[in-house]
């Protein structure tokens, strides 16, 4: 089972690498990895397990954060609007279209691979369409908005060696862009 010690931290070259496409059908090993990744995120949101294993409460994870150079990511969090969990295990994800409008988390972003706080707004597309494959090899097409769109873009950035703070305007970190709206 994965714990925080398996997650590489800022400064490790693995976080600045462009990850390789996963060959399909996925191997037993890659299936195990993406299942371990989802289990880690679920564990991190379980108060008892998170306390016992000292896990930060996560909502998404990309394989490069485990120093695994493969285009795989997981997303899992409770969506209040849907009143249900949003759960995705995505292989070779690609943003195939996006809104012009941008959005951002008013509190800024953090990262499981970054131990210190780096204040500032991270502007992302408000709505995206993502194509990829699920672990069963089925092609999936996801239309994401609000927090789900932010998490997906944060994780896809990891597959391209991009960190959230690369997007912060260091002249004026909390200045919203003109066509951007906060996601509460
Ligand atoms: C960096 C960290 C603070 C651990 C962040 N956690 C998080 O957002 N937790 C959270 C938020 C909720 F709204 C509800 C809830 F149940 C738990 C996170 O997992 N990530 C994922 C990450 O680092 N992936 O590489 C950072 C987020 C910043 C914006 C999107 C993902
Ligand atoms: Zn991250």
**61 CB near ligand 1 (under 6 Å):** yes
Per-residue pLDDT at 169: 98
Domain hosting 130: range is: 4-182
What's the pTM? 0.98
Which tens digit of pLDDT belongs to each residue from 31-63?
Answer: 999 999 999 999 999 999 999 999 999 999 999
- CA distances in angstroms from 70 to 7, 34, 59, 122, 163, listed in the order given: 15, 10, 19, 24, 16
Domain count, the chain: 1
Task: List the residue whose alpha carbon is closest to atom 25 of ligand 1.
Answer: 61
Spacing, Cα 83 to ligand 1 middle (Å): 19
Alpha helices of 46-159 — where are they, by DSSP H? Answer: 47-53, 146-159
Per-residue pLDDT at 104: 98
Per-residue pLDDT at 41: 98
Token pair 């995705």 is at which residue?
88
Per-residue pLDDT at 35: 98
Per-residue pLDDT at 180: 98
Which member of 155, 171, 177, 184 is catalytic? 155
Q: Which atom of ligand 1 is nearest to the CA of 109?
A: 28
Per-residue pLDDT at 164: 99
Percentage of the chain beyond pLDDT 90 is 99
- Sign of the dihedral through C-alpha 169, 4, 25, 147: negative
CATH number at 167 reads: 3.90.45.10
For residues 96-110, give the mean pLDDT.
98
State whether residue 116 is helix, strand or coil.
coil
pLDDT category of residue 182 using cuts at 50, 70 and 90: very high
Closest CA to 136 of 21, 30, 20: 30
Q: Which atom of ligand 1 is nearest to the CA of 78?
A: 16
Judging by beta carbons within 10 Å of its beta carbon (0-12, 13-18, 19+), is residue 176 exposed, middle or buried? middle
101 annotated active-site: no
Q: Which atom of ligand 1 is nearest to the CA of 151?
A: 30
Task: Check whether the bond before 25 is cis (ω within 30° of 0).
Answer: yes
* Residues bordering ligand 2, an ion, CB closer than 5 Å: 111
Spacing, Cα 41 to ligand 1 middle (Å): 10
ipTM for the whole predicted complex goes beyond 0.95? yes
Q: Any bridge partners for residue 89, and if so which? A: 74
The reply to whether 111 sits in an annotated binding site is yes
């Amino acid at each position: 089972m994965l714990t925080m010690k398996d997650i590489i931290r800022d400064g490790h070259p693995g976080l600045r690498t462009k990850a390789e496409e996963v060959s399909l059908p996925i191997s037993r090993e890659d299936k195990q990895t993406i299942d371990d990744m989802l289990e880690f995120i679920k564990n991190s949101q379980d108060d008892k397990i998170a306390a016992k294993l000292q896990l930060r409460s996560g909502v998404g994870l990309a394989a490069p954060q485990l120093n695994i150079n493969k285009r795989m990511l997981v997303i899992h969090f409770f969506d209040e609007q849907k009143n249900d969990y949003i759960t995705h295990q995505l292989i070779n994800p690609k943003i195939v279209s996006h809104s012009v409008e941008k959005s951002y988390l008013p509190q800024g972003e953090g990262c499981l691979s970054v131990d210190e706080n780096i204040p500032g707004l991270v502007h992302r597309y408000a709505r995206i369409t993502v194509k990829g494959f699920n672990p069963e090899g089925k092609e999936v097409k996801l239309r994401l908005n609000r927090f789900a769109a932010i998490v997906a873009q944060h994780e896809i950035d990891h597959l391209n060696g991009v960190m959230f703070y690369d997007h912060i305007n260091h002249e004026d970190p909390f200045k919203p862009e003109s066509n951007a709206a906060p996601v509460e």
